[in-house]
Amino acid sequence: MARMKFICDAERCIECNGCVTACKQEHDVPWGVNRRRVVTLNDGVAGERSISVACMHCSDAPCMAVCPVDCFYRTPEGVVLHDKDICIGCGYCSYACPFGAPQFPSNGNFGLRGKMDKCTFCAGGPEDNGSQAEFEKYGRNRLSEGKLPACAEMCSTKALLGGDGDVVADIFRTRVLNRGKGSEVWGWGTAYGRPTQGQPGAAPVPGKKS
Amino acid sequence: MKAVRGSLLALLGVVSLVLAGCGEKVQTASVSGERKVDGQPWQNKDARYLAPGWTPGDQNSWNAQLANRVQGQNDYAPRK
């Protein structure tokens, strides 16, 4: 079973914001909500880097841990989704997320904060796949159409990779080997863990000398 | 005349307030309070936007489709 992940190759991102536009267009995301955005580090300084940031669908998602109404769930493909019919818009997930992924539309009376909205890895939500209800609440369900996230598939420099984690990691590794630099992947360790951050190391293989 | 105009204006005000309330989307928590179960991604009854090359409902076909599709992001993949 594929485990869906994002990688943003900072050596390739040119800050065109095409991914942001594609996401907003594909899901009809309202004003004031950006499921994906481009962040530039050291802007204006030689060697600046841009990265495209959205929900990373973390392996151990903090939003899931803090949600008081347990509206989050993880699909077998590793996509972290939520049920908007359960969400109460408390904003705890927003505080917990290291990527600032949860967004809240201010579409109610008196500045009332609406239900949380975030990147779905173009996998919709807990409604019938491809239904109008799913589109209105969560946007298009491209995975159920046999496609990958719009942001990654339309990235003009192929900086943003999205898909099975093993495959996109292989694609990125091949690039790094070919260009001989730029192996840093921002957010990867935070989202998917690494042994040095308290995660358990790889299980030893019986009969194999380490 | 003034009284009629005043009451008409008041009526209009009340009607616009009532209609404004109708425009507010319901944001109450679901009645059951339980999270709905999501379907499998390879199940899709709406065939309008399906990518060609796979059969809806067939998990292996869907897996193969995504494995093939992700290579579209690979500059170093061998060209067919």
pLDDT of residue A114: 84
pLDDT of residue A204: 43
Q: Any bridge partners for residue A197, and if so which?
A: none
Neighbours of A49 (CB within 10 A): 18
Cα–Cα distance, A143 to B56 (Å, whole number): 11
In a domain, A184, yes or no: yes
**pLDDT band for position B63 (50/70/90)?**
very high
CATH classification of the domain holding A134 = 3.30.70.20
Mean pLDDT, to the nearest integer, of B2-16?
A: 87
Q: Give A69's contacts in chain B (Cβ within 8 Å).
A: 29, 33
Cα–Cα distance, A164 to B41 (Å, whole number): 14
Low-confidence spans in chain A with pLDDT less than 70:
107-111, 194-210
In a domain, A202, yes or no: no
Q: Compute CA distances B26 → A50, A138, A143, whole Å.
A: 39, 16, 28
pLDDT of residue B25: 67
**3-class DSSP assignment, residue A159:** coil
**pLDDT band for position B69 (50/70/90)?**
very high
Number of domains in chain A: 1
- Those residues of chain B whose CB sits closer than 8 Å to some CB in chain A are 24-25, 27, 29-30, 33-39, 41-46, 48-51, 53-54, 62-63, 65-67, 69-76
pLDDT of residue A199: 46
Q: What is the DSSP letter of A73?
A: E
Long-range contacts of B52-57 (CB under 8 A, 24+ apart): B53/A146, B54/A146
Q: Give B33's contacts in chain A (Cβ within 8 Å).
A: 69, 86
Residue A121 CB contacts under 8 Å (≥ 6 apart), including other chains? A4, A6, A55, A57, A79, A143, A149, A162
In a domain, A208, yes or no: no
**3-class DSSP assignment, residue A176:** helix
Contact across the interface for A75 and B27, Cβ inside 8 Å: no
In a domain, A147, yes or no: yes
pLDDT of residue B62: 95
pLDDT in tens, A12-66: 999 999 999 999 999 999 888 999 999 999 999 998 999 999 999 999 999 999 9
Distance from CA of B8 to the nearest CA of A (A): 26
Write out residues 161-180 of A within 8 Å (CB-CB) of B.
161-164, 167-168, 171, 174-175, 178
Partner B contacted by A144 (CB < 8 A): yes
Partner B contacted by A85 (CB < 8 A): yes
In a domain, A160, yes or no: yes
Cα–Cα distance, A44 to A66 (Å, whole number): 37
**pLDDT band for position B80 (50/70/90)?**
low
Closest Cβ opposite residue A147 in set B37, B69, B75 = B69
pLDDT in tens, B19-58: 777 777 666 655 566 888 899 999 988 878 999 999 999 9
Range of the domain at A45: 4-197
> What is the value of pTM for the model shown?
0.82
